[in-house]
A and B are shown apart, each in its own frame.
Chain A
Amino acid sequence: MESIKKQNKLPTIVGLAILLCVMPFLVKIVVGNQYPLLIMCIILIYIMAVTGLDILFGYSGQISLGHAAFFTVGAYTTGLLNIYFGLPLYLTIPAGAILSALLGALLAYPASKLKFHFLSLATVAFGEITYYFLYTSPGGFTRDYKGINVVGISFLGEDYLRWYFFLLAFVVLILIGKISLINSRVGRAFLAIRENTHAADGMGINVRKHKIIAFTVSAFLTGLAGALYVHLIKYISPETSMQKQSVLFLTMLLFGGTASILGTILGVASIEVLMECIRPLQEYQMLLYGILLLVVIVALPGGLNGGIKNLVSNRRRKKAMKELEIAAQAEAEARKDGDE
């Protein structure tokens, strides 16, 4: 049965790979400037960030309303290490992700005891603390409200085509890692905790340890996304750690559908493109997130991914029904013929 699945999946993967490789060139030719490529790069970065959130929220059932804080911690760490110590990027970018992961673990330690709504409040508080810390830091080492400028990655420069493939490599590796982790004892433990924490404990799962793992992995990915983001945009300010950004990540995740690979990608891409289309109405961003979340909760509980799945299975069911009908008809006719 598994071999059939693999055979069916291979052409899809190859097709997807070709599409992903050809798309940026096509976009560049059709539009004639680099701007859409930049948006595609941002989509790739947000896919990493939201993948982090999905592992925490989608799989383990632990809400975080402060994930933008991990994003900015990653970004500021790499930026500040560069500015103050002139360390090379291949050290500072991982450093950003690792510091973010450590903070995630630190936050998870007390947070793993909290139930859903208390946890959401704790993560909101974490986001606010990060914001105010960056905004008025001791001695102003984070440059406070001005934010920080970084030089970017020299071999990528402002060639967004190169950036695209650089980021695509990261995303592919991360998604492979996600699939591998989810289809393991760790992934099953995450799901078990989400489904029934009490029973998970009784069945030998160290609930606390796995919640901490989920927080750490999640913060690592979101921090890494932030560390890459700052070099792409070359600037970051404390504003990025505000509630708005955390809500954006959550909206992307819920709109696409939680606990899946495709859902994250669909959610990020569709919301980001939508945001670009309504750029003139930026003040209404939060309003739009709210409306989108309502639509998802009421009309599409599984997000885009869930909607597509339902559509496919419905169509399959209808097809199967039709085939049965045809078979029944054929049989009836055959019987009639036999009678005559």
Chain B
Amino acid sequence: MLETNKVTIRFGGLIAVNEVSIRVQPNKITALIGPNGAGKTTLFNCISGVYKPTSGEVLLDGRHLEGRRGFQINEAGITRTYQVINLFWKMSVLENVLVGMNSRLKSNFWDSLFSTKKKREEEQRIHKKAYELLQFVGLEEYADAPAASLSYGKQRLLEIVRGLASEPQIILLDEPAAGMNTTEKAELDILLKKIIDMGVTILIVEHDMKLIMNVSNYIYVLSNGKLLAEGLPNEIQQNPDVIAAYLGGDD
């Protein structure tokens, strides 16, 4: 469903991502791993519209996404979380989720200004749905608290549920386990499987190898901006190139 076709991203003389082609299978967890600075987040930023690829294509069900802006990509059905948590800090937890629903709302500016019946019904519906989403990740008791008051692990959960609020086809998770404790990581494992059960496809960047090997169906390995290897988790674990570059080789 989602694929990149020889995507290259260049910043001046630096080639951050070099002709990378990946394919994300529907209803599967696809992982993107690699050492720091390999270009994983840059590729994510390219898919989600933060950067425009210097060359190459990004396709969702055959539709071109390269060069589209972030909000258009979100409307097309791709949402994401961030490596450095990017919540709306002073807004409440519930409001964060409501913002996430933005691209699926029907009421327009005039409905909003005059509180028409359409707006009031929609607001009621989405408040209920946002609350249900919070229950889905167990954050409902913090609904009215400011997002900034949550613990680090819970902030990560809120980012995931804010992304899910836009009813995406795919969610890009950028290091969701970073900063989580062991219990939270175990819960994340279950959550990822629940997200797949919801019918949402996952593309994940993560450094926690235990989590990755446990949950992913297919793995791409990036190193120095290039695709180093791809394959099933057990294949990747045994790939000598990957072991050398990433899992701790001779050097």
Contacts and interface: CB of A to CB of B under 8 A. Distances in A.
B86 interface: yes
A47 to B, nearest CB: 18
Tell me which of B86, B87, B112 has the highest count of chain A C-beta atoms within 10 A of its own C-beta.
B112
Interface string A39-74: 000000000000000000000000000000000000
A211 to B, nearest CB: 13
A195 B89 contact: yes
A202 B119 CA distance: 24
B102 A196 contact: no
Interface in B89-112: 89-91, 95, 98-100, 102-103, 105, 107, 109, 111-112
Given A180-B114, A195-B89, A201-B70, A188 B166 contact: no
Interface residues of B, number: 36
Give the size category of A's interface with B.
20 to 34
A189 B99 contact: yes
Nearest to A178: B113
B74 to A, nearest CB: 3
Given A203-B99, A203-B102, A186 B109 contact: yes
Nearest to A193: B88
Contact of B107 (A183, A184, A204): A184
B175 interface: no
B109 A196 contact: no
Interface in A180-235: 180-181, 183-189, 191-192, 195-196, 198-207, 213
A156 B102 CA distance: 45
Interface string B177-207: 0000000000000000000000000000000
Nearest to B115: A180
Interface stretch (B2-10, B75-83, B213-221, B243-251): B75-83
B143 to A, nearest CB: 10
Interface of B: 48-50, 69-71, 74-75, 79-80, 82, 86-91, 95, 98-100, 102-103, 105, 107, 109, 111-115, 119, 123, 162-163, 166
14 contacts: A186-B113, A195-B87, A195-B89, A195-B91, A196-B86, A199-B86, A200-B88, A201-B49, A202-B50, A202-B86, A203-B99, A203-B102, A204-B102, A205-B99
